Amino acid sequence: MNKTWWKEAVIYQIYPRSFMDSNGDGIGDLKGVTDRLDYLKYLGIDVIWMSPVYKSPNDDNGYDISDYQDIMEEFGTMADFDELLAKAHEKGIKIVMDLVVNHTSDEHQWFIKSKSSKNNEYRDYYIWREGKADGTPPNNWGSCFGGSAWEYDETTDMYYLHLFSRKQPDLNWDNPEVRSNVFNMMTWWCEKGIDGFRMDVISMISKTAEMPDGKVNGLYGDYGPYCVHGPNVHKYLQEMNEKVLSKYDIMTVGETAGVTTELAKQYAGEDTNELNMVFQFEHVEGDGKYGKWTDEQLPLTRLKSTLSRWQTELYGKAWNSLFWNNHDQPRAVSRFGDDRPQYREVSAKMLATCLHMMQGSPYIYQGEELGMTNYPFHGPEEFRDIESINAYKEWCESGRVPHETFWPCITFKSRDNARTPMQWDDSAQAGFTTGTPWIAVNPNYREINAKAETADPASVFHYYKKLIALRKQNPIMVYGNYELLLEDSEELFAYTRTLEQEKLLVVCNFTDKKTVFTIPAEFVGMPCLISNLDNRYDKQDIALEPYEAFVLRKK
Ligand code: GLC
Ligand code: CA
């Protein structure tokens, strides 16, 4: 297996809108990020992945871009960006940009021209189709954010495809001009000195030419078989690699929902010349009760078998990302741990141990290192996220599912859980802004905040700091081979890592009950690398406390 810096790196994701507001308008911004670089340096992370900061009308908080080479006014200016990049580099921190090129905003110049007539030179930049004879959309596909995936445009009496919101028209990657424009734009950012790209829904850029109705799931047909991992996706990524990526020492990670381990070996194979790693969702996706919406936790055996399959099948062949949450997922501790006060810290540390000891590049989503929790929503008027707003309308206001039934599901999984402001201190608005924040602050900021946690050596923050430092000293955490123990346990997640003579034993109690574990003979008496409780591990049979986690090392 090749050794590379991005396999060894720990990545910290910033959602700029919610990270730090420097000018009191209630919206996080680039200067806010620059101001907090010392905090990130102290934590010890290597790379920042920044959610989109480009010019955008914010239909989907920046994932709808109207100019790829300009900065969103609310976030600052290009000079602010350059300053952030320079200061981050001074501190040895790299910056990976979000690349959103499956679609643009409908306010992008390309789209404005494209829709102006049938024969303008930008027409073929997007995907236009005639409606059916009765005037309904070309097929039954539903968009990710509700409603049809087709929007009628009266200027030319045709429909355009949008797999996300109607303000996010899909680009036509089969058009070589689209590809060369995107590649030129990427080169422009690379020349600026950025350190890589996180590629938004990159597995969806190639669509099949035939666009038949999809299997109906919920209200609309599924476009998946025709738009995800489409016919030319690998060809286009190889072209991107040849024309741009291969010329720079950068990190690339592809958001590839629905990817299998087999496909991942192509997207992010050691020598397939596409991307460095995939960011896949199999372990955070279950069977929702209503579309993706559910209030149920996944059984531990299922979580373990999914994660373990990714560990073993990619070993030596391809590279994966490790994460429990991001800006599209609820908070890790509320979903996989236990956010009741007596268990929040210990379970947050347990989850961190479990994840950082696996193979892959770990991602920390802002606030995860503090054990930030889901938000206690009071009503749908508190949602800011287009997906949650539309889903509430589509499932609830329509009368399909009663509020009492749907509410626990949408509040458990809403993306807004991750988007409440970063909790910096116990002052008003958690120190995030001196103004009115664009989205409510979680009221638990008085207890859970960076100021308190950086001052407390026993905090979740310091536990993450220690895990990050351990990764630098123990190549086995990066390169060791993984083996699952106790496959059938619904309580414990235990595994080993092996690198030459060295071996790690990782044991995590995922329950709020005491659970007995028998330490394998070869690890009895071996030193503890890290543990979330002050216990001793020198006996063979250990009664683990709720959410206890420990790692033993044998050399
Ligand atoms: C990705 C992003 C998500 C966004 C969507 C459309 O899944 O992570 O936030 O809404 O793509 O760009
Ligand atoms: Ca601001």
Q: What is the pLDDT of residue 200?
A: 98
Residues in the chain: 555
Would the CB of 59 count as within 6 Å of ligand 1?
Answer: no
Q: What is the pLDDT of residue 287?
A: 76
Closest to 124 (Cα-Cα) out of 81, 179, 165, 70:
179
Would the CB of 253 count as within 6 Å of ligand 1?
Answer: no
Would the CB of 386 count as within 6 Å of ligand 1?
Answer: no
Would the CB of 100 count as within 6 Å of ligand 1?
Answer: yes
Count the helices and strands in the chain (H runs, E runs): 18, 22
Give 356 Cα–ligand 2 centroid separation in angstroms: 33
Name 134's Cβ contacts closer than 8 Å, sequence gap at least 6.
none
Q: Which of 46, 255, 339, 416 is catalytic?
A: 255
Residue nearest atom 4 of ligand 1, based on CA coordinates: 63
Give 451 Cα–ligand 1 centroid separation in angstroms: 31
DSSP secondary structure, 271-300, as one string = TSSS-SEEE--GGG----SBTTB--PPPPH
Ligand 1 atom nearest 100 alpha carbon: 12
Residue nearest atom 5 of ligand 1, based on CA coordinates: 63
Closest to 495 (Cα-Cα) out of 511, 476, 482, 477:
482
Q: How many CA atoms lie within 13 A of 131 on its CB side?
A: 15
Q: What is the pLDDT of residue 73?
A: 98
Q: Which helix (H) or strand (E) holds 158?
A: strand 158-161
Closest to 97 (Cα-Cα) out of 227, 244, 307:
244
Contact 22, 31 (CB under 8 A): yes
Q: What is the pLDDT of residue 435?
A: 98
Q: What is the pLDDT of residue 345?
A: 98
Residue nearest atom 9 of ligand 1, based on CA coordinates: 328
Q: Which helix (H) or strand (E) holds 351?
A: helix 341-356
Q: Which of 50, 63, 168 to mutate to test the pocket of ligand 1 (most atoms within 8 A of CB)?
A: 63
- State the pairing for strand pair 11-14/361-365: parallel
In this prediction the pTM is 0.98
The one-digit pLDDT tens for each residue of the chain (555 residues) are 899 999 999 999 999 999 999 999 999 999 999 999 999 999 999 999 999 999 999 999 999 999 999 999 999 999 999 999 999 999 999 999 999 999 999 999 999 999 999 999 999 999 999 999 999 999 999 999 999 999 999 999 999 999 999 999 999 999 999 999 999 999 999 999 999 999 999 999 999 999 999 999 878 999 999 999 999 999 999 999 999 999 999 999 999 999 999 999 999 999 999 999 999 999 999 778 898 999 998 899 999 999 999 999 999 999 999 999 999 999 999 999 999 999 999 999 999 999 999 999 999 999 999 999 999 999 999 999 999 999 999 999 999 999 999 999 999 999 999 999 999 999 999 999 999 999 999 999 999 999 999 999 999 999 999 999 999 999 999 999 999 999 999 999 999 999 999 999 999 999 999 999 999 999 999 999 999 998 889 899 999 999 999 999 999
